[in-house]
Every structure is written in C-alpha cells, then in structure tokens.
Structure 1
Amino acid sequence: MASKKSEHTSFISGRKHRTARLRAAVKAQESTLDQVAVSVPTKLGDVVLTRRHLLIGAAGVVAVAGIGVGSSVISKQFGDEASLDILSVPNASVTSMADFEQVDAEEYMYLDAEYELPYGTLLWANGSMAACLIPGDSGSPLNRLGVLFLSSGYCPVVLNQAVGSSDGFEIFDARGSENGLIWTEANIMEGTWRVYAAALDDDVLGEPVLLEEGDREWETPTLAAVGRYVYWQLLPSLSGTHTAEQSLLKKAQIGTTVSSVVYQSTGRMATPPTTTAESVIISPRANAEGMYYQLTNLRAKDDAVIDTMVLPQSMRPLEIGYGTNGFNFSFDAIYNYGDGISNLGTYTPLEKRVLKEPAIEEPSNQQESSSRSIEETTASPLTSKEFTPKSYSDSPWFALNRTPSAPACWCGNLFMIKSTHVVCGVNMENKQYFTLDTHSGSPDYGDYLATTGISDYIVTYTNIDDSPIDGDRMYCTLVKVYASY
C-alpha cells in the first residue's frame, strides 16, 4: 500500500488546514473552461470540444452536434391530468432568501481540509470520497480516473487511460462510492460510447466490467452511484431513429455483469440522476396527456419508489435533488405561470419531510420485477396504505432566485446551493444564510459544488491560475472540504 501511495504522489500536492477561519479575497478572472477549444470533424458534424463539455458529461460531446436548442420529443402519453397531484405553490407560500438575515459562514461551518489537485480536475463527491477526472499530462489520454479520499487528501490515479483507448475511446464522465466506480468512455470521432464499472478496494480498482455500449442513436448515458449499486440513464437521441422509445434508468451491482431496467419513462427524462446515501433521484415524464415531469426518489436497496412530486405542465427542471426537506429543484427559465415557482432559481420546502418507508418485497426475479414504468408509480409513491405524506402543495417553500449551476445538497440542517458566483448555505429554522468565500485568483464562476444529497461534508472546487506579485504562482484545482458545527 505504501508503494502505491508514493507512486501517485506526483498527482497531488496536499495542503490541509484545520481552521474555522476562511480566507476571503475575491479576484474576478475570465473563466478558463472555454479558453481552449478545438473544432473536431466527426460523423455527427463539427464538435467544438472544450473543458466545459466535461462538466456536463460525455453527452455534451457526443450528442452536442445533433441536438438543437428548444428541440423536444413528445411521445404517446396515457392517463389523465386529474389523477396527478400537481405541485401548486401560491406566491404567499414562498419565502425568498432575500427575506433571511445574512451572517458569517463561521457561525455554521468551518473549513476542515484544503487540497491542491492538477489544474482542470473535475470532482463528484460521495460520502468519504470523490470520483475525479484528472487531465492527462500531455493531452493524451485526455483524462485519467482518480479517487480523492476526503479525510487525507490522498488522490491516486486508479485508471491511467480508457479501457478502450486502443479503439480511440477517452474517459469522459465518472461517479463513485466507497464500493466502486462507474464511468463512460466515448469515441467522439465515431459517435460511440461505453459504460464501465469496477469495484474499489481502497486505492485499487478491480477489473472493469462493460455494462452498456451504444452509438449516436442514444445519448451518452448520465451516471450515478449509491453504495453497492451503479446507475446509468439512457435517452434516445433527438436526431436519431429511436425518438419514440422510452427513456431508461438501468442498474447493476458493482462487481457483476448483470444489469436491469429499474425505471422507464414514456418521453425524455428532464435531468441527469442525482443521489443521496440510500437512493437515486430521477425526473421521468408523468403518466398524463401533456408534458409533466415527476421527480421520483428510488430507494437503492430494493428500487422502491419512496417519494414523488409532479411539476406543473411543461415546467422542466435544470437540476434536481433530495434532502432533509424532500425534493429540491431548479429552473434556468422564467415562466408566465406557476405562481410561486415561476421564476428561475432553486426551490425546496421550508419544512422537514416525513416519510414512512414502504415494506421491502423480495422479488422472485429481480430484473423482471424491479423494472417499472411511470404508470405504475404515479398514483401513490408509497406502498403503505396507512400513511400518506403531506402534499408538497401544502408546504411553505423556500426560493433562491439566482441562476443555478449545480444540484443543491444538504449538510445536516443546512441547505447548500451553488448560485451564479458563490456557494450559499441556508438555515431555514433560524432564517439565516451565509456565503462561502472564494480564493484569490478564482475564475468568475467561483467555487463549484461537488456534493449532492445529504452529507456530513460539503466539497467545493475551482481552478486557480494566480501569480501574486509577492508570491509563487498557484496553478491547480483547489478543493475545499467543509463541515458544519
């Protein structure tokens, strides 16, 4: 083990500070994500490839040439709008963050650790670790797959190049848990993709297992990982011949080759999946005539639907999540209907969500019985007939009306949101909020929020290229790990 740690020392220079004080100095700088762009001729047309595409996953690279802004596919729908419990939020039921008191971040959170990773690294935190895409030293490979251990800052590269590198594939997206990793590889010249997973034993990656592969007829899957399970979401390409087919959420247990469809949506899902420690959150189309998105919480251990919420017609979320108060979602558009949730921004209930877990039913055939469609779950999100959770329409709501750029998350009773430039924390009981300071030399988008769901730690990161007059140049991806008091 010691030899492996020394082998990967060159990939990280850790600086760990255990202090309750945050450094506060903001220097605006033009975003570096799009400074280097290459026009690549492919079978899908010319693709302008930048580092920003990696923030939206391989779908942003493989599918961008074939998807036009405003395109939509309306598949055959069934059911009746009257059967849906559609979210209705009056203006009077919404409290804005502008109504809260701003306080210093130190009253609620402290900086537990700070690490420097190679410039351009991307992270997705989950529990005590974060899956990382670490740029190649010379541009080939484009990315390497790494794991950052949040308690120590140890960040080994566990996969130096794509499994399919000899066939022109590069690693483009990844998620993980303490149990293993799932990642996508894409050949942008051919418009093809593959999904792999492998078990993780400390800093050693097991044998990669090919879970799925496809071409431009299907968008490159988006990913999620919960405990022993990995997920990938399949959407038919808007420019392909399968536009009328259902969208799928598929699942596999880490270390196995067996996969199953755990959810299918008639019509396209609105967002990539997100996770909590025990569940995966998706946004399929509801069973109705018209376009209604139903936020859905699926428990990982048995695929039970434990909570749902249907948004008003044609209101499409940009990001979704689940936490202490139930679902949260964000819009990057302004609607002329919807009352209290018509503005752009991030929304979540003000009150804690109380659910009674459904009984676990052991299926005789996991693959057959775990697959379901929206028709089977719209009527009731819970199997228990003795308990009905409070309707989301009856709850007071919280709103931050700023342009969202990442899924929100929870740290204890703190609701954490990535706004346009800063990461904000909100204590709804005390009606207070704070902002986390950014480092001098940060780009104009500030720190990016790498945590989803409910976590004991909040992880942020940003690219720093700063050459102070009285000091050494700082050129790295700066990772910060926060904890609440």
Structure 2
Amino acid sequence: MRLFGNKKRAAKGAEVQAGARVGARPEARDRRGISRRAFAAGTLAAGAGIAAISLVGCSSDSSESTTGDPQVVTDESQVIAVMDGDYENSDSTPAVSYAWTLPLGTMLFHNGGGSWAAALLTPESAGNANTLGVVSLATGNATTLLETPTQGTAYDFFDVRCSSGVYAWVEINYTDRSWLLLAQELSNGSLVGNAVKLDEGDADWEPPRFTAWESSVIWQKMPLASGSQSSSYSHCYRWTVGSDQGVEIRESHGRFATAPRVADGILTIAPRVHEDEGTYYGMTAIDLADDSFPQVDQLVLPRSVSPFDAVYMNEAFVFSIEASYEGVGSLGNMGTYIGREGGPYVYLRREPLAQVTGNGTRYLVKSQASNILVDTEAKTYAVISAPDRCLDYGDWPATEGVSDRFVTYATVRDETGIPASVSVRVFGL
C-alpha cells in the first residue's frame, strides 16, 4: 500500500517495472558503456531560495461546466468488443524506430509530441534515492538536471514531468509527509532561470497529480480521502512559465477521479458532478487555448463508477474502468473504452494498467506484459510483445496524450536472471 493511499494508477508496480531505484548497483552501466558519472551535473543547489506563485480562481462565467446525464448503457449493440469478435487480429505492429539501454532504475515520462522524456534516475551516491533528468528521444542520451532536492536532505524526489518548455517535479518529506510542487523553464533539455514553487501540502493533502504541456504545468490539489481535510474541495490549476500566478481551471466537490491529461490542446479531468444525487464522475474536456477554459465535451459515468484514466482524443473520450460494477450497464465493466455521450463505445476487455496513447485512429493500450494497438478505422488489433528477459510487467508506456511516437521502458534481467538494465524502445505511430 502506498504511503498516501493512491490507487493502482500510481503505476501499479512502476517501481517493480523499472527496478528498485534504491539499492540499484552503484556502478551500473548500460551496454554502451555510459555510467551515471558521464551525466551532466545538477543545476540547482539544495536549500536555494525559490520564488512562489499565488493561486487565483477563474472568475469567467464561461468556465462554468454543464453536466450531462449519466450514461447507463444496456443495449449491447452500443458496445463494439475489440477482442471478442468485432475486430480482427493483425500482425501489423509499429516498427521500433530507436532502442537504447539505460542504467537500472531509470523511469521515463513522455508527454505526447515532445522530443524529451523526463526521467527519474538512479544516482551514483547512496545519499539520494534518485536524481532527476531528461532523455533525448533523438539520441537516447540521458542528462541529470537535479542531483539533490531543493529543500535539502530531508526531502526526496517523488515524481517528475516535462514538455519542450517546462520541467516540473515533486519533492517529498517522508517523515512528516509534506511535499512541494516545483517547476522551471526547460530549453533544449537544459533548465533555465530559477525554480518556482507552484504548490505545497502536508500529510492531509495528496501529492499532486500533474502534467506538462507546452510551457504550462497543470496539476490537481486534492485532500486525502482518509485525512482531516477529506471534506475539502479539490482544485485543478494551471501555471505558465514567466507568470507569477497560477490560475484555477476547475474545482471538484470531492476528489478528482483521474490524473490530468492533455491531448491536442484539450485537457481532460474527471471532477465530481451531480453531487446532490450521489457519487458521479463527469469526464470533462476543456480547451486550454481559451483563457476562460470552456468545456468542449463531457461524459458522465453511471453512479459510483470511477474512471481509472481518461483523455479526450479525436472528439471522443478514451477512458478505462479498473473494476466491475453491478447493475450500472456496460460502462461499469472493467476495461478500456473509446466513445462519447450517446455511444457507441469501442471496448477492450482487459484490466487497465496505464494511460492510453493515440495518434489518429490508432490507440495503444497497456495489457499485462504487452501493449495492444487498436485501429478503429481498420477495425483491427495487434499485440506488441515485450523485450526478452524483462520483468513481469514488460514494457511500461512512458508516453501520454497524442503522439507520433510511442516510448516504452522495461527492466531486463541479465543472463543470470538478475535485473541489470532498462530497455527503452521508441515506436513510430
């Protein structure tokens, strides 16, 4: 069980998938002979002074969302089952454009369309559990950007994301469970200027789920479900490099169900809706190009059904349900769906494990050790196998959103069966 009670969405084994960051062999080298000591030094000293922004609400009436009716689907013709006869199995899988080997413990996070992947790296020194950096998707070269947390030795790096223009990370104190969300401008894979504190919280507030898009960071501040602030509202904010304010996009009268996802400039979040009638989640698509954050689309799930993940692509919601619910129709079954209010819904009956990546009519869905490529135009699906000798979870998807490339990473054992390195593959979409 995670310290903060996050559900399986916190990568249900991402630590297992990437190999233990703490305790990884200090002299681990990749198969090209690059060690951690070949990486660049960090750019921000521990304890450095950090500017903080102010958080303001969004006062525009156009930001108020409308709420649709819960979608209780009982007509089986509205559900197109990918692996149950409605789609054909195909041998056509994306080609591997690039493949690299990185040191054991590396974990990658790639926002769709970017040329860099944020990385949690295993340091040479045992003084830190991990360091932060980036990996170039053109060369596979890894660069360390931050060797030590800005708040000193009491803190550890907890999570990280980046886009082409901004780098964001969370530092956490595991003793008192306090945390900070920080961000800094990123240019050509290097940090520019000074770090900015976007938000902070104590043991009653969950470390933020966040993403990076263009030069903005979008995050959710939510109370722990079991903490003293459990009845507090949750908020979704956006901050852009160069601004001294973070702007509220939406609030939820309860916790958001999913992490924020951005695809083609559309943000997807899942706040509570119909709160006077029960527990309902409305997956909501919001236009980030408009400063009033208007709602583009929404799909409300049946009562008590909580989405595991959701993103808006190609004028449809791509969402997953991690458990099966009784008496609420087809959208209460475990699996991944593609559709919008009124249906129909393309349905992949597999346990969801991670976010979905897409490009055009092609969608990549994580399933056990493999990834499944679903093509809604060709009405086919294909299985992308994991590398040989990888751990049980196989290839873990690093990419989120819309992208013309799909980045995965897998911890691979050596000839003796011991986890030895991380295999990174980039597929063309």
* TM-score normalised to structure 2 length: 0.80
What is aligned with 1:177? 163
Q: Provide the rounded CA distance (Å) in 2 between the counterparts of 1:124 and 1:330.
A: 20
- Higher Rg: 1
2:101 maps to 1:153: no
Residue equivalent to 1:328? 318
Is the CA contact 1:228–1:254 (under 8 Å) kept in the aligned structure 2? Answer: yes
> What's 1:453 paired with?
401
Deviation of the 1:398 alpha carbon: 1.1
Residues 322 and 409 in structure 1, CA contact (< 8 A), matched pair in contact too: no
Deviations 1:419-446 (A, max 9, x none): 1221000111221111112111111111
Contact 2:299 2:341 in 1 (8 A): no
Instruction: Tell me the distance in 2 between the aligned counterparts of 1:482 and 1:158.
Output: 26
CA distance in 2, matches of 1:251, 1:263: 10
CA deviation map 1:38-73 (0-9, x unaligned): 9xxxxxxxxxxxxxxxxxxxxxxxxxxxxxxxxxxx
Give the match for residue 410 of structure 1.
358
Q: What one-letter code is carried by the residue in structure 2 that aligns with 1:151?
A: A
Instruction: Note the C-alpha offset of 1:177.
Output: 0.4
Structure 1 residue 468: Cα displacement: 6.7
| Aligned pair partner of 1:195 in 174, 181, 190 | 181
Q: Does 1:431 align with 2:379?
A: yes
Name the CA shift for 1:37/1:139 in 2 (closer, same or farther; >3 Å): closer
1:204 to 175, 190, 196: 190
Equivalence for 2:237: 250
Change in CA separation of 1:102 and 1:253 when aligned onto 2, cut-off 3 Å: same
Q: What count of residue pairs does the alignment treat as equivalent?
A: 364
Deviation at 1:137, TM superposition (A): 2.3
Which aligned pairs between 1:82-481 and structure 2 lie closer than 5 A? 84-89=68-73, 90-98=75-83, 99=85, 100-106=87-93, 109-126=94-111, 127=113, 128-166=115-153, 168-206=154-192, 207-288=194-275, 289-301=277-289, 302=291, 303-349=293-339, 392-467=340-415, 475-481=420-426
Give the CA deviation at 1:325: 4.8
Of 401-410 and 254-263, deviating more is: 254-263
Structure 2 segments unaligned to the other structure (5+ residues): 1-14, 24-65
- 2:133 & 2:181 partners in 1: Cα distance? 17
SS of match in other structure, 1:193? strand
Looking at structure 2, the residues matched to 249 and 213 of structure 1 have their Cα atoms a distance apart, in angstroms, of: 14
Partners of 2:21 and 2:104 within 8 A in 1: no
Secondary structure of the structure 2 residue equivalent to 1:341: helix
Distance in 1, Cα, partners of 2:241 & 2:258: 24
CA distance 1:32–1:474, shift in 2 (3 Å):
closer
Between the aligned partners of 1:337 and 1:397, the Cα distance in structure 2 is 18
- The superposition leaves residues 181-225 of structure 1 with CA deviations (integer Å, 9 ceiling, x where unpaired) of 111000001211001000011132121111111211211111111
Q: Which has the higher strand share?
A: 2
Separation in 2, partners of 1:306, 1:295: 11
Report the alpha carbon displacement of residue 146 of structure 1 after superposing the two structures with TM: 1.0
By how many angstroms is 1:452 displaced?
A: 1.5
Q: Is the 8 A contact 2:389 2:414 kept in 1?
A: yes
Q: Is the 8 A contact 1:250 1:259 kept in 2?
A: yes
**Distance in structure 2 (CA, Å) of the matches to 1:119 and 1:185:** 22
Consecutive unaligned residues in structure 1, runs of 5 or more: 1-29, 39-81, 350-391
> Quick check: 2:180–2:199 contact (8 Å CA) kept in 1?
yes
Post-superposition offset of 1:277 = 3.7
Counterpart in the other structure of 2:36: none
**Partners of 2:100 and 2:425 within 8 A in 1:** yes
CA shift for structure 1 position 238: 2.5
1:179 Cα deviation after fit: 0.2
SS of residue paired to 2:330: helix
| AA in 2 matched with 1:279 | I
Q: What SS does the corresponding residue of 1:92 show, helix, strand or coil?
A: helix
Q: Are the equivalent residues in 1 in contact too, given 2:185–2:241 (CA < 8 A)?
A: yes
> Residue in 2 aligned with 1:46?
none
What fraction of aligned residue pairs are identical, expressed as a percent?
Answer: 30
The answer (yes or no) to whether the contact 2:211–2:217 under 8 Å persists in 1 is yes
CA gap 1:420/1:32 in 2 versus in 1, 3 angstroms: closer
Task: Give every structure 1 segment of 4 or more consecutive aligned residues whose post-TM-superposition deviation is greater than 3 Å.
Answer: 30-38
Greater helix proportion: 1
The answer to whether the 8 A contact 1:426-1:433 is kept is yes
Partner SS state of residue 427, structure 2: strand
Change beyond 3 A, Cα 1:297–1:132: same
